[in-house]
Amino acid sequence: LLATAIIDRKRDSCELSRDEIQFMLAGLVDGTVPDYQISAWAMAVLCRGMTQRETADLTDCMLASGNRLPRASDRPRVDKHSTGGLGDKVSLILAPLLACFDLDVPMLSGRGLGITGGTLDKLESYAGFRCDLTEDEINRQLVKIGCVITGTTPNIAPADRKLYALRDVTGTVPSIPLITASIMSKKLSASLDALVLDVKCGSGAFMKTLPEARELAASLVATGERMEVRTMALLTDMSQPLGRMVGNACEANEAVEILSGHCELGSASVRELTLRLCAELLVSLDQFPTREQATTSLSNALSDGRAMDRYEQMISEQGGTFCRRIDLASEHIIVAEHCGWVQAIDGERIGRAVIALGGGRQKQGDRINPNVGIEMLVRIGEPIAAAQPMMRVFADDTNKLHGAKRYLAAAITISDQAVSMQPLLLEE
Amino acid sequence: LLATAIIDRKRDSCELSRDEIQFMLAGLVDGTVPDYQISAWAMAVLCRGMTQRETADLTDCMLASGNRLPRASDRPRVDKHSTGGLGDKVSLILAPLLACFDLDVPMLSGRGLGITGGTLDKLESYAGFRCDLTEDEINRQLVKIGCVITGTTPNIAPADRKLYALRDVTGTVPSIPLITASIMSKKLSASLDALVLDVKCGSGAFMKTLPEARELAASLVATGERMEVRTMALLTDMSQPLGRMVGNACEANEAVEILSGHCELGSASVRELTLRLCAELLVSLDQFPTREQATTSLSNALSDGRAMDRYEQMISEQGGTFCRRIDLASEHIIVAEHCGWVQAIDGERIGRAVIALGGGRQKQGDRINPNVGIEMLVRIGEPIAAAQPMMRVFADDTNKLHGAKRYLAAAITISDQAVSMQPLLLEE
């Protein structure tokens, strides 16, 4: 096998064999295939596509490039993955909530990427919280409390880590087969029984249109099923942030509100989506005959404090100092210039504003200020009066506040005519 | 400007600005844009294409990355480029022949590439011949005898040299805009007035089909004209080797036969093509009113020995020891297994056989044995008797001969039915 011949074949739209895919990934990891050949190959994959068989082989070879987490108990193992959206703090609630139902939830999460925040960054708002657990520590915590949210270990899918770093700087991120293999190799390395996928669609998401989101969801589900893991996907709306809060500590605070059973109206979408994703998993594992029964039990675990207890345990097991409400930076209100109805919320601008506040990274390795962020006070379809508060900005620096305001000035579009509400769940 | 944004734009099929193209090439030359970004960009260019404006800007930026040869005299400057084919020794005849017509022919040529031989390798069959002339030496020789065939100097289009080396190992060679810019930047660096292009088409050529060859020819001519050089292209047949000989010294010998006016029937195609390419240039410069008159004068320059004298001068000016017939390796005849008509000649197999004999390179830097090669004794359309000699192989090693015979066994297809002759000139 020759790297150049494999690049040529993909460039000429041929289907690659498992051996050819394995050759490229092994060469990437051991350095025998140089980066300039890998990046040309990745661009050819992006332009020419891959079949489901190729995508599954790519996933499996990436998985096989590293370790799988060994089983810690005989409880079923489940996980959720979201393709990333603004204000998505579902993982913080979902992991402890499912752990109340005799499931193990070994959640290997990531940092903020582009305009969307990262689950690990949100949890690090608790002083001392550790995201670098070893495989032993992960398993011990699973045995003890059934849930863990941490970064991937260096031994998990090293081929994916190297390929992702290269894709990030060579224009080869937006490829359905490459995204699929990257997500599924990391998730399946935890030896799961079931996986639910939340594929976001809209202005604040990576996939802007429903057909794109549908294609990615189909690719993820097909790959999961080829690899013998019960896999479901929901397509959900990301034409506006999920819930009220966007930013690290403020999203952790919102998660705690929901975990404690007291949920403001603006946070209803987070609660609804979390319950739905959990119910899908519980029904797929035959723990409940119907989604309605699962949802009732899940609501009870929120209202009677069990999920909250589990969350507190998880934070303290991982070295963090839990607190009900982390202090945020100073508040600044942004009001509507004229009356009307909220027609659109530009996720890109909201995300850039949070980065401008210091709540996200301009480049890898940047330090994040957890205490800044934005609270959305309106949602699409709501009537607005002139001078009505639309956003509450948490900022600790006047210059950064001005920077953020430049993005926020045009982030919300107000229409003269009534606008219908946006449904959260677009498709199953 | 950011390399990643430029890659993204080409990936998304946008037209790049001249500044964006210049940014990538400057980054390639000074190392500020890493190879893995250049190769991903080249693959995006291959998959998404470039407009004529982008291609001309790419050519111009490559040209501007190095020196142009200064003018040595007030004679018009001309050159020819062939896209490469088996047995193509036209340059060896064309350069001294045109120099007899008060033209300067500063021919910057290359080494063998893939299965096709290189003009420099053929000329190095003369002991001592130098292909590394400096710009001063090139100009002095032009003033003295009007023709020179040498390698490009390190100062000619360094961006092209670096990009070509990277394309060669990243599957990004067969891209019309990238091929166009590579050819035209090198050729135009010689400050030409007119350029004639011989675009080969067929089994022994890079472009296998007429539509592909037509597209490349159109791109080359459009780029030349945008850059204000009279540019013409002929599409010529490469479904069989050009002339009789394939190999280095044996092609030099065949060129000398034609230069001396004594041309065997099997070499008629080389003579015909050379005269036609020369006539195109002479008419484009208004040296003759018609192609017919130009051809008559060109034939005279061959038959009266002027072109031959000029060739001998060129060889000796560049340090080579001229001889009329360089000794070749031992002869071995390959005969037809059954009677019929020659239907097809597989250029790929003939080329691989020459490499197996040691007459071409398996990898960069391999030493070439100039004295091996193959003489084709039949052409497409000719009737064949059983056991009739079809090829004469010049080999100096039994193992290599056996290796070559494995390729040659299936190189010529014989049909039961009559096959028509193949015209040499396909389109202007």
Residue of A nearest to B46 (CA): A11
Which residue from B384, B376, B385, B374 is spatially nearest to B342, judged by alpha carbons? B384
Q: Which of A38, A43, A206 to mutate to test the interface with B (most CBs of B within 10 A)?
A: A43
pLDDT digits (tens, 9 = 90+) for B346-356: 988 999 999 99
Q: Three-state SS string across chain B, please?
A: CCHHHHHHHHHCCCCCCHHHHHHHHHHHHHCCCCHHHHHHHHHHHHHHCCCHHHHHHHHHHHHHCCCCCCCCCCCCEEEEEECCCCCCCHHHHHHHHHHCCCCEEEEEECCCECCECCHHHHHCCCCCCCCCCCHHHHHHHHHHHCEEEEECCCCCCHHHHHHHHHHHCCCCCCCHHHHHHHHHHHHHCCCCCEEEEEEEECCCCCCCCHHHHHHHHHHHHHHHHHCCCEEEEEEEECCCCCCCEEEHHHHHHHHHHHHCCCCCHHHHHHHHHHHHHHHHHHHHCCCCCCHHHHHHHHHHHHHCCHHHHHHHHHHHHCCCCCCCCCCCCEEEEEECCCCEEEEEECHHHHHHHHHHHCCCCCCCCCCCCCCCEEEECCCCCCEECCCCEEEEEEECCHHHHHHHHHHHCCCEEEECCCCCCCCCEEEC
pLDDT digits (tens, 9 = 90+) for B134-162: 999 999 999 999 999 999 888 889 999 89
pLDDT digits (tens, 9 = 90+) for B155-179: 889 999 899 889 988 999 889 999 9
Q: For residue A390, what is the enclosing H or E element? A: strand A389-395
Give the C-alpha separation, A241 to B372, whole Å.
73
By the 8 A CB rule, do A27 and A40 touch? no
Tell me, what's the pLDDT at A130? Answer: 97
Give the C-alpha separation, B319 to B109, whole Å.
17
CB atoms under 10 Å from CB of A228, counted, come to: 9
The predicted model gives A69-92 an average pLDDT of: 92
Tell me, what's the pLDDT at B381? Answer: 94
**Are A8 and B171 in contact (CB < 8 Å)?**
yes
Question: DSSP secondary-structure letter at A27?
Answer: H
Cβ-based contacts of A42 with chain B (< 8 Å): 40
Burial class (CB in 10 A: 0-12, 13-18, 19+), B184: buried
Cβ-based contacts of A48 with chain B (< 8 Å): 47
Catalytic residue flag (residue A338): no
Cβ-based contacts of B40 with chain A (< 8 Å): 39-40, 42-43, 170-172
Residue of A nearest to B38 (CA): A36
Q: Which of A10, A12, A35, A36 to mutate to test the interface with B (most CBs of B within 10 A)?
A: A36
More confident: A363 or A199: A199
User: Band of the pLDDT at A207, cuts 50, 70, 90?
Assistant: confident
The predicted model gives A61-77 an average pLDDT of: 91
Tell me, what's the pLDDT at B260? Answer: 93
Cβ-based contacts of A166 with chain B (< 8 Å): 36
Which residue from B46, B45, B53 is spatially nearest to B17, judged by alpha carbons? B53
Q: How far is CA A229 from CA A84, A184, B102, in A?
A: 22, 10, 78
Q: For residue A308, what is the enclosing H or E element? A: helix A306-317
Tell me, what's the pLDDT at A301? Answer: 97
Residue of B nearest to A170 (CA): B37
**Are B42 and A40 in contact (CB < 8 Å)?**
yes
Catalytic residue flag (residue A81): yes
Q: How far is CA A373 from CA A3, A264, B50, B306, in A?
A: 46, 18, 43, 85
Catalytic residue flag (residue A276): no
- Determine which one of A88, A160, A237, A346 is catalytic: A160
Check pLDDT > 80 for residue A232.
yes
Check pLDDT > 90 for residue A43.
yes
Question: DSSP secondary-structure letter at A346?
Answer: -
Check pLDDT > 90 for residue A125.
yes
Percentage of the residues of chain B whose pLDDT score is greater than 90: 84
Q: For residue A301, what is the enclosing H or E element? A: helix A291-303
Give the C-alpha separation, B81 to B195, whole Å.
8
Tell me, what's the pLDDT at B206? Answer: 80
More confident: B199 or B262: B199
The predicted model gives A277-292 an average pLDDT of: 96
**Are A41 and B171 in contact (CB < 8 Å)?**
yes
Chain mean pLDDT for chain B: 93
The interaxial angle of helices B35-48 and A3-11, nearest 10 deg, is: 30
pLDDT digits (tens, 9 = 90+) for B17-70: 999 999 999 999 999 999 999 999 999 999 999 999 999 999 999 999 999 998
Give the C-alpha separation, B332 to B402, whole Å.
11
Strands B230-237 and B425-427: antiparallel
**Are B171 and A35 in contact (CB < 8 Å)?**
no
A376 forms beta bridges with: A391
Please enumerate residues of A whose Cβ is less than 8 A from a Cβ of B: 3-4, 7-8, 10-11, 34-44, 46-48, 166, 169-172
CB atoms under 10 Å from CB of B150, counted, come to: 22
The predicted model gives B90-114 an average pLDDT of: 92
Give the C-alpha separation, B333 to B349, whole Å.
17
Give the C-alpha separation, A25 to A48, whole Å.
18
**Are B44 and A41 in contact (CB < 8 Å)?**
no
Cβ-based contacts of B46 with chain A (< 8 Å): 11
Tell me, what's the pLDDT at A96? Answer: 98
More confident: A347 or B114: A347
Check pLDDT > 80 for residue A112.
no
pLDDT digits (tens, 9 = 90+) for A350-409: 999 999 999 988 776 788 999 999 999 999 999 999 999 999 999 999 999 999 999 999
Check pLDDT > 90 for residue A205.
no
Tokens representing A399?
């210059």
Give the C-alpha separation, B220 to A340, whole Å.
58
The interaxial angle of helices B18-30 and B52-64, nearest 10 deg, is: 40
Q: SS3 for A375?
A: strand
pTM: 0.85
Catalytic residue flag (residue A200): no
pLDDT digits (tens, 9 = 90+) for B205-254: 888 889 999 999 999 999 999 999 999 999 999 999 999 999 999 999 99
| B35 closest CB neighbour out of A7, A36, A171 | A36
Please enumerate residues of B whose Cβ is less than 8 A from a Cβ of A: 3-4, 7-8, 10-11, 34-44, 46-48, 166, 169-172
Cβ-based contacts of A169 with chain B (< 8 Å): 3-4, 36-37
| A171 closest CB neighbour out of B8, B34, B169 | B8
| B36 closest CB neighbour out of A4, A8, A39 | A39
User: Band of the pLDDT at A152, cuts 50, 70, 90?
Assistant: confident
**Are B36 and A41 in contact (CB < 8 Å)?**
no
A147 forms beta bridges with: A105
pLDDT digits (tens, 9 = 90+) for A172-190: 988 999 999 999 999 999 9
How far does CA B374 lie from the centroid of its chain?
A: 19
Residue of B nearest to A36 (CA): B36
More confident: B423 or A162: A162
Q: How many beta-carbon pairs under 8 angstroms link A with B?
A: 80
How far does CA B256 lie from the centroid of its chain?
A: 18
| B39 closest CB neighbour out of A39, A46, A48 | A39
Cα R_g (chain B), whole angstroms = 22
Cβ-based contacts of A34 with chain B (< 8 Å): 35-36
Q: Three-state SS string across A224-283, please?
A: HHHCCCEEEEEEEECCCCCCCEEEHHHHHHHHHHHHCCCCCHHHHHHHHHHHHHHHHHHH
Q: Which of B16, B28, B35, B36 to mutate to test the interface with A (most CBs of A within 10 A)?
A: B36
| A43 closest CB neighbour out of B4, B35, B44 | B44
Give the C-alpha separation, A322 to A96, whole Å.
14
By the 8 A CB rule, do A157 and A37 touch? no
Chain mean pLDDT for chain A: 94
Q: Which of B170, B208, B212 to mutate to test the interface with A (most CBs of A within 10 A)?
A: B170
Tell me, what's the pLDDT at A149? Answer: 97
Give the C-alpha separation, B412 to B350, whole Å.
9
Tell me, what's the pLDDT at A95? Answer: 98
| B4 closest CB neighbour out of A4, A41, A169 | A169
Q: SS3 for A177?
A: helix
Tell me, what's the pLDDT at B202? Answer: 86
Amino acid at B233: A
Which residue from B266, B255, B240, B257 is spatially nearest to B350, judged by alpha carbons? B240
Q: How far is CA B276 from CA A283, B90, B298, B373, in A?
A: 79, 11, 10, 27
Instruction: Return the exposure string of A376-397: e unless at least 16 CB atoms fall within 10 Å of the residue's CB, then b.
Output: bbbbbeeebeeeeebbbbbbee
The predicted model gives A341-358 an average pLDDT of: 93
In this predicted complex, what is the ipTM? 0.84
Q: For residue A28, what is the enclosing H or E element? A: helix A18-30
Cα R_g (chain A), whole angstroms = 22
Q: How far is CA B191 from CA B156, B157, B194, in A?
A: 12, 13, 9
Tell me, what's the pLDDT at A263? Answer: 82
Which residue from A377, A359, A355 is spatially nearest to A368, judged by alpha carbons? A359
Give the C-alpha separation, B30 to B387, whole Å.
60
**Are A11 and B39 in contact (CB < 8 Å)?**
no
Amino acid at A403: G
Tell me, what's the pLDDT at B213? Answer: 93
